[in-house]
Amino acid sequence: MANPSGSSLLVIERLLRDRDGIWRQIIEERDLKQLTLQMLISSTVSLALYGAVLGASNGALQAVSSFVKLPLLFLATLAICLPTLYLFNLVFGAKLSVLQALTLIMVTITVTAVLTLAFAPISLFFLITAQSYLFFKLLNVGILVLTAIVGLRFLTAGMRALNDHQERVAHALAAPPAAVPAAEPEPALVGAAVAAGPEAPARENGSVTAFPPGVKPLSQIGHRPPPVELPPGERPASMTLLHIWILLFGFVGTQLAWTLRPFFGSPDKPFQLFRSIGGTFYADIVDTIGRLLGA
């Protein structure tokens, strides 16, 4: 078996290049534990390195603290919101296992983490050249929001692929067995059927007879069975429900980030591992924007 730590960089490239292959692997539940472990390693390392960049604005202690706290933020949000996603899908009929749900969310976190790390040089550039704590904080919040949106698009794409697969399977199970095709009729018999009319029986020597085996009335030629309705328990999960869960995931993540702060560290305050809980993340962002514009 391949070394998970050695394959972590490869799984990043695969996520970005071969999404359909990832969705097929999740649908078939092939080696999901190994895939999840590889994504866990790559996302943890990427988020830790970016956390160190965030904390570097206020010294080495803050860099070490954010190095630990940023991966913890994402993984704790995953642990809080995973049961809700799994139970929501069960209620609405999706046959999604816990491991499949976990792998889907880890795809989201890994894509977010890798894209975030790709912005690290830009963040460092503005940290060195701008020398503005307020601007640096807003810049990195914007980077995290942007990369999270891209990662969540992978989640919706993966869930849609699982839903499409479930719908195809349900159609195949609910469809009636295909009839054995009848033998091709003789051209002369088809011509007689056309001349006699759509529903007329075949005539031979002036007597009325049934159609010979393999010969159908014209009304039956090209006839297709009606579409099959899926049973209620086989319908795929609603994508609207997934979008609601994404909003919940975002609110939990931002509130948890506010609880675990500081990640940047105010330059006019001494190092703190945690701050007292008060206010909200959104009020602080609005206040920061106002102070930056008024400066």
pLDDT averaged over 10-residue windows placed end to end, the chain, 295 residues: 58 88 92 94 96 92 95 95 87 79 94 96 93 92 96 92 82 64 51 47 48 51 46 56 91 94 85 84 91 81
Q: What is the pLDDT of residue 24?
A: 93
Looking at residue 265, what is its pLDDT? Answer: 81
Q: Hey, where are the domains in the chain? A: 7-172+241-294, 187-220
Instruction: Provide the pLDDT for residue 195.
Output: 47
Could you tell me the pTM of the whole model?
Answer: 0.76
- DSSP per-residue string spanning the chain: ---HHHHHHHHHHHHHH-HHHHHHHHHHT-SHHHHHHHHHHHHHHHHHHHHHHHHGGG-HHHHHHHHHHHHHHHHHHHHHHHHHHHHHHHHTT----HHHHHHHHHHHHHHHHHHHHHTHHHHHHHHHHT--HHHHHHHHHHHHHHHHHHHHHHHHHHHHHHHHHHHHHHHHHHSPPPPPPPPPPPHHHHHHHHHH-SSPPPEETTEE-PPPTT---GGGTT--PPPPPPPGGGSPPPHHHHHHHHHHHHHHHHHHHHHH--SS--TTS---SS----S-HHHHHHHHHHHHHH-
